[in-house]
Structure 1
Amino acid sequence: MRSTPVILVLLLALSTHADERLFYQPHNSDATLSESEWQALWRSTVDHGVDTLIVQWTRHGDDDFGGRNGWLAAALHAAQREGLELILGLRYDPEYYRILPDDRRFASYWYLQSSHALEQHEALGAWGLEVAGWYMPLELDDYLFENPATRAELETQLQSLASYLDRPLHISAFSGGILSPEVFASWMGELTDAGIQVWWQDGHGTQALPLPVRQAYAEALDCRIGIVREAFVQVSEPDAPFQAQPNHPAEAPACHPSAVFSLRYRPWASILLDSEPDAMTAPLE
């Protein structure tokens, strides 16, 4: 998911559909919220039907947001006290899209990222949170993973990573129109069969692909694959710094698990948009 600099905050009518699962992308600008503000934010989140918070990352490069005594750990404890289940993101590498695509480096690079993920998994044990799952914030797409051999290596390494974790491993992916819907869906299905919970981003916010094409990709997916419904609309040009405005997400799919990206764009969370997010970038798409 892309980071979320916003040029205009829209006050949207509340959706009648419960979000159930909601992504939260931490930024250091969020450290300005007080304990009471976090409590009110999480209470409103629960009141709007959310039961699970997917935290996109808990470490961004060298930044762990203060670790177990930092603002993010305190905010997540507050979320848990309000009844939210937590799926915690591990470590995001800001160099991901610079280093890849490079098929020759992929195996060693992903092995290193898995090692960093396990280090963060161990560090998070000291945060004292109850965890329902783990999220690998290095996203998949059919440009970086066009090569079948690279996809096979990825599956092997994800299975290995998942075997070291005490809760299910989650990962997200998006379609760039490189692989056909059928081939892309087969890839997502193979990862699912390997025991990974896969989330596919619906492209509703970026609209990088025409609607009929996005629908073809969605319709090809196995019902076990989750759909991430983007609650924003991109207003920046493709080659410009990412900017977006809040927007209604698409309707929840009939047979798929559903999540919304992201908390920052939901109507009750406008406090997160009061100050410009920092320079961190890590696209979900």
Structure 2
Amino acid sequence: MATYTTKFTNKQVRRCCFTAFFLILLTSCKQKVDNHDLGVFYQPLNQDRDISQQQWKGFGKEVSDIGIKNVVIQWTQYGNEAFGESHGWLAQRMEVLQDHNIKLWVGLYSDPNYFREIHTNTTEQKVYLTEYFNKLHKSYVQWKTWLKIHSNKVKGLYLPLELSDYDFKTPAQREQLANILKQQIKQYDEPLMISLYLSGQLPQSQIKQWTDQLTNLGLIVYVQDGAGTQALSTDERHAYLDDLGCNVGIIREIFVQDKAAKSFKADRVSKEKFDSILNEETCHPNTMFSLRYLPSNSNPLKLVGEK
């Protein structure tokens, strides 16, 4: 799940660099999901490298004490930046989280140009996605030994694609994507997670059909709730989310976007709001975006531009 924005205005969507996303099988939409599997995204940035091991260990304990059981590492490579690869500072931070009995979803390669490249026609999407998935698999190979060593505390892999009804408006685009994903799934031993965000381009029924299509492939699917970006009205958001099956997870945005800012800027939600999110009853698996916005005085992860 990069910090994302999905402000929809005049058919332009200010995009996410975030991404998000999973499936836990439940038998009834009336069933309350057990928070034993509560998750949160961590989006690695180079500025995090300066956090001391002691600070990170303390933060890891606090995250565990909150009741968070899994962390989604949004990416382990962003463009040419590999964060030290599988023996560097990011891998060490991941291992500290595992030491606190936190299981990980390990994100693979993320393309900084994804949002620019993916918004195109069906033919060009196929070319781009083929190239992108090749890079995804290369990053998987680079981390495969680490994944094997730490397999008992790895839940699966996160594919840092942010799917959207803005980019996959047509049935042909969504069907082509499904066919590509079906082939990709065969290349991985671990469960795969993927995420969607909504821009209001498709009706609720088609969004539900799309998430059903993705979960039927065997993917673990999460949908961003849009509460932080407020790209859609509250009623619109609830209408979409309420229509989803209980096996589709929800990414809870624990930030509040500053609408007046020219570029993306957001603050953490209040502690009271955060607690209400933790205590909310739902049939959906829940994860949050993101650790950087966790409202804690001891949070060592600075917001971009924060001193």
Q: Name the TM-score, length of structure 1 as normaliser.
A: 0.88
The equivalent residue for 1:258 is: 286
CA distance in structure 1 between the partners assigned to 2:37 and 2:54 by the alignment: 23
Rounded Cα–Cα distance in structure 2 between residues aligned with 1:2 and 1:226: 19
Question: Offset of 1:80 from its aligned partner?
Answer: 0.9
Following superposition, the deviation at residue 4 of structure 1 comes to: 7.6
Match among 84, 108, 118 for residue 127 of structure 2: 108
**Structure 1 match to 2:90:** 72
- Residue number in structure 2 paired with 1:211: 234
Report matched runs for 1:137-152 at 5 Å: 137-152=160-175
Shift in alpha-carbon separation, 1:189–1:39, aligned structure 2, 3 A:
same
Letter aligned with residue 47 of structure 2 = S
Report sequence identity in percent: 34
| Alignment coverage as a number of residue pairs | 265
| Alignment partner of 1:233 out of 252, 256, 273 | 256
Q: Deviations over 1:108-133 (max 9, x none)?
A: 11111111111111111233433211
**Corresponding residue for residue 35 of structure 1:** 53
Task: Select 2:265's aligned residue among 243, 249, 267.
Answer: 243
Equivalent position of 1:272 in the other structure = 301
Structure 1 runs (4+) greater than 4 angstroms displaced: none
Alignment equivalent of 1:24, drawn from 16, 38, 42 = 42
Partner residue in 2 for 1:89: 107
Structure 1 Cα separation of the partners of residues 165 and 159 of structure 2: 17
In 1, Cα distance between equivalents of 2:209 and 2:58: 42
| TM-score (structure 2 length as normaliser) | 0.81
Q: Deviations over 1:30-57 (max 9, x none)?
A: 0001111111111110001011011100
In 2, Cα distance between equivalents of 1:86 and 1:160: 24
Paired residue secondary structure (2:193): strand
- CA distance in 2 between counterparts of 1:81 and 1:270 reads 18
- Does the 8 Å CA contact 1:19/1:260 hold for their aligned counterparts? no
Runs (5+) with no aligned partner, structure 1 = 6-16, 278-285
Letter in 1 for 2:38: E
Q: Following TM superposition, by how much is the alpha carbon of 1:270 offset from its aligned partner in structure 2, in angstroms? A: 2.7
| Cα distance between partner residues in 2 of 1:237 and 1:193 | 41
Per-residue CA distance 1:141-192 (angstroms, 9 max, x = gap) = 1010001111111111112111111111101101100000111111111101
Query: What amino acid does structure 2 have at the position aligned with 1:215?
Result: H
Paired AA for residue 160 in structure 1: Q
